[in-house]
């Protein structure tokens, strides 16, 4: 009988279990806005969670999301960074599908989130510019015992005004646009987001482009202990 490779056993112990929670949730507003949410429970060893539960790894989670989007689209979708924005482009500029303001990080003792306020883009209706946001959030139990811990990871798009839905148009045109959005863009978004959530089972969070929440970077700007609110005045912890 061939001996087992200890490296594979170690990697297996570090893998997590992911369970998608409930069917996709989506709501439509009166003016054509859409809010949708996908949720997953991730069960992992308590020792791994303690290692990952840092400001730096929240920033890595954000980077991993954008990198997953590029990979699943076979490189057609790219995320470009500026000091004040994130741009999701189709291959290259000027095909900006979505642009966001710089992310806002909120880190507390048992939860953390990164929020990208929506700016504009080809996929955003004129009446939806500078409205709504995309948010990734994680929450761990207030109290937990045992070798395994289950955390909740949520992806939320709130108050998004899709251009394809034509919500600003009257009557029948708006209803047709809303239907087309539900069976195309929204469905693709849900499939891709759930695939991203399932990919977290590998516990691979890639380094940030900037690394503004690394221990060295936090020490340079005065520092903030894990469990503290990193955001100050709403935007102080923005990074790429």
C-alpha–C-alpha distance, residues 85 and 161, integer Å: 19
- Please report the pLDDT score of residue 2 as a whole number: 52
Label residue 179 by pLDDT band (50, 70, 90).
Answer: confident
CB 44 within 8 A of CB 204: no
Name the average pLDDT for the chain: 85
Span 164-169, mean pLDDT? Answer: 69
Mean pLDDT in residue range 178-187: 88
**CA atoms of 91 and 57, how far apart (whole Å):** 28
Banded pLDDT at 76 (limits 50, 70, 90): very high
* Domain 28-220 = CATH 3.30.530: yes
Give tens-digit pLDDT for 207-229: 998 788 988 888 886 655 443 44
Res. 9: pLDDT tops 80: no
Q: Are 45 and 15 within 8 A, CB to CB?
A: no
The residue with tokens 């004040």 is: 84
* pTM, entire model: 0.84
- The predicted pLDDT at position 173 comes to 77
- Sign of torsion, CA 240 157 114 188? negative
Lowest mean pLDDT among 21-25, 97-101, 138-142, 185-189: 21-25
Residue 114 CB-density burial (10 A; 0-12 exposed, 13-18 middle, 19+ buried): buried
Q: What share of the chain in percent tops pLDDT 70?
A: 82
Residues 37, 167: Cα–Cα separation, whole Å? 20
Between the alpha carbon of residue 197 and those of residues 61, 110, 113, 126, 227, the distances in Å are 11, 19, 15, 30, 23
Report pLDDT for 223: 55
Q: Domain ranges in the chain?
A: 28-220
The residue ranking higher by pLDDT, 30 or 94, is 94
Q: State residue 83's pLDDT score.
A: 80
């Amino acid at each position: 009988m061939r001996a087992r490779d200890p490296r594979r056993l170690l990697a297996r112990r570090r893998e997590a279990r992911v369970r998608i929670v409930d069917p996709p949730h989506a709501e439509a507003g009166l003016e054509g806005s859409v809010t949708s949410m996908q949720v997953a429970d991730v069960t992992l060893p308590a020792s791994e969670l303690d290692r990952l539960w840092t400001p730096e790894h929240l920033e890595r989670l954000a980077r991993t999301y954008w990198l997953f989007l590029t990979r699943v689209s076979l490189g057609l979708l790219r995320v470009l960074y500026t000091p004040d924005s994130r741009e999701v482009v189709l291959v290259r500029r000027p095909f900006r599908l979505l642009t966001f303001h710089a992310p806002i990080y909120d880190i507390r003792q048992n939860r953390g989130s990164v929020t990208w306020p929506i700016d504009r883009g080809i996929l955003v209706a004129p009446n939806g510019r500078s409205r709504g946001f995309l948010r990734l959030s994680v929450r761990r139990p207030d109290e937990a015992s045992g070798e395994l811990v289950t955390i909740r990871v949520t992806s939320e798009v709130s108050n998004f005004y899709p251009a394809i839905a034509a919500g600003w148009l009257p009557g029948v045109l708006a209803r047709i646009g809303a239907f087309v959005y539900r069976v195309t863009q929204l469905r693709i978004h849900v499939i891709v987001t759930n695939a991203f959530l399932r990919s977290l089972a590998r516990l691979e969070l890639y380094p940030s482009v900037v690394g503004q929440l690394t221990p060295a970077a936090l020490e340079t700007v005065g520092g903030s202990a894990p469990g503290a609110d990193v955001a100050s005045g709403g935007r102080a912890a923005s990074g790429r």
